[in-house]
Amino acid sequence: MIDKNDELTVSTQCDLAGISRSGYYYKTQKESAENRRLMNRIDELHLEHPTWGSRMLRNFLRDEGYKVNRKRIQRLSGLMQIRTIYQSRNLSRRNLNHRIYPYLLRGVKIERVNQVWSTDITYIRMPEGWIYMTAIIDWHSRAILAWRLSNTCDRFFCIDALQEALEKYGKPEVFNTDQGATFTSPDFIKVLDEAGIAISMDGKGRALDNARIERFWRTLKYDEVYLKSYTDISDARKQIGKFVSVYNNIRPHSSLDGGKPMKVYIGLKNQFDESA
């Protein structure tokens, strides 16, 4: 619980609690109950059918009884940071004044921890609105190195997560993101540049370039978010924090031959540090 009268600043308390400063005050998003229900259904359908664009979603949702057109689906999908996997307009909107970096990982074999990290943003449903989550994942181990929740989709909570991961675990050789305005912002890029990290960005509309974090979102939503009804952002942080801990330290991962992501990450990182 954040206490304004505590001797620690609100900013410091937020950092210790694992929430972004912008997410301190949770406010219900200004969408109708019908639109919120529609957003939740779009979120579910996108996990099942990530290649479905607005036309397919419109037709399917109309069959389910929703009165919806493509423009509405595109607007709500944009709010949710949903990107269709095909070469088309990218719903994670770019800022044309921001520099776009090339994709560096085509054909690259991922062989070690801290070789590549990546990040993304996803939509988390709430009873009367929604919040956003960002996470930093190590590609080799699939370990979640840091994460944040926020009621606004801005660069600051993403920067907070990035800085935490760098402080705790060192730095990767390459950091991969999509081309959205959050990750191309000068403030976000500055953190990577100052750390001497090579920057890679997905091709527009190619969410599969960042497939590891997309798979984590799928696991998070089916095994946690869709099963819960969070009372507020503090409750969401607590419950999602428990899930991330289980995912990192207890849940076997098939791609790791049953290994646990954080155990694999720490073990391989220690081996590398000893041999360096």
Residues 63-77: pLDDT tens digits? 999 999 999 999 999
- Could you give the percent of the chain with pLDDT greater than 90? 63
Split at pLDDT 50, 70, 90, the class of 82 is confident
**pTM above threshold 0.85:** no
Residue 90 pLDDT > 70: no
Residue 42: what residue type?
A: I
Q: What is the mean pLDDT of residues 157-178?
A: 96
Concatenated DSSP letters of 117-128: EEEEEEEEEETT
Question: In the predicted model, what is the mean pLDDT of residues 260-271?
Answer: 92
Distance from C-alpha of 129 to C-alpha of 149, rounded to nearest angstrom: 14
- Give the domain ranges of the chain: 116-275
Starting at the earlier edge strand, list the strands of the sheet with 129-138: 144-150, 129-138, 116-126, 174-177, 198-201
The separation between CA 27 and the C-alpha centre of its own chain, rounded to angstroms, equals 20
pLDDT at 252: 94
pLDDT in tens, 190-203: 999 999 999 999 86
Percent of the chain with pLDDT over 70: 80
Query: What is the topology classification, in CATH, of domain 116-275?
Result: Nucleotidyltransferase; domain 5 (3.30.420)
Confidence at residue 81, expressed as pLDDT on a 0 to 100 scale: 85
pLDDT digits (tens, 9 = 90+) for 95-119: 556 688 999 998 899 999 999 999 9
Q: What is the pLDDT of residues 12-43, one digit of tens each?
A: 656 555 555 555 555 556 788 999 999 999 99
Residue 170 contacts residue 265 (beta carbons within 8 Å): no
- Is the pLDDT higher at 82 or at 250? 250
pLDDT tens per residue across span 136-164: 999 999 999 999 999 988 899 999 999 99
